[in-house]
Amino acid sequence: MQRVSVICVGKLKERFYIEAAGEYGKRLSRFCRLELIELPEERLPEDPSPAQIEAALEKEAAAIRAKVPQGACLVAMCVEGEACSSPALARRMAGWADRGVSHIAFVVGSSFGLHPSVKEAAALRLSMSPMTFPHHLARVMLLEQIYRAYQINAGSKYHK
């Protein structure tokens, strides 16, 4: 069974996000061993300078790198990444599995995104949309898309 880690900077606080993430976690248990990892978001002043943002992203990147499992296929969620359909993501995940990739690690950054070093290390930079979403909602959307990919690959009717 494939392992999937979802590494997120920031903690879910709102009950509806927690419940939605929990529901997709339960659904995914049929297809993979899911690990949700929450890392603290660096505190920044109200109006941070570019240097302060860069320093925060560097610290978050170090924490992310420490949690990415050895040998995992890294997917960085970022707005400038590749936009792909649900079937395209399913094909990519199936291709990784066919090539023996046993662990996929998706990374969702903080409200300021991900440090360039994390994006550069990724096998795939993936964008949900050119629109801006709260990163907590992005986590739920990502879990749903991972679930949808497994459903597509299983040939279910979930994806319509």
Structural domains of the chain ordered from first start: 2-45+56-154 (3.40.1280.10)
The DSSP secondary-structure symbol of 3 reads E
Q: If pLDDT is split at 50, 70 and 90, which confidence band does 156 have?
A: very high
Pick left, alpha or beta for residue 28 (phi over 0 → left; psi -120 to 50 → alpha; otherwise beta): alpha
Predicted model pTM: 0.95
The DSSP secondary-structure symbol of 49 reads -
Q: For 35-60, how does the pLDDT look when each residue is reduced to its tens digit (9 = 90+)?
A: 999 999 999 999 999 999 999 999 99
The answer to whether 109 and 6 have CB atoms below 8 angstroms apart is no
Residue with tokens 């900077």: 9
The answer to whether 142 and 77 have CB atoms below 8 angstroms apart is yes
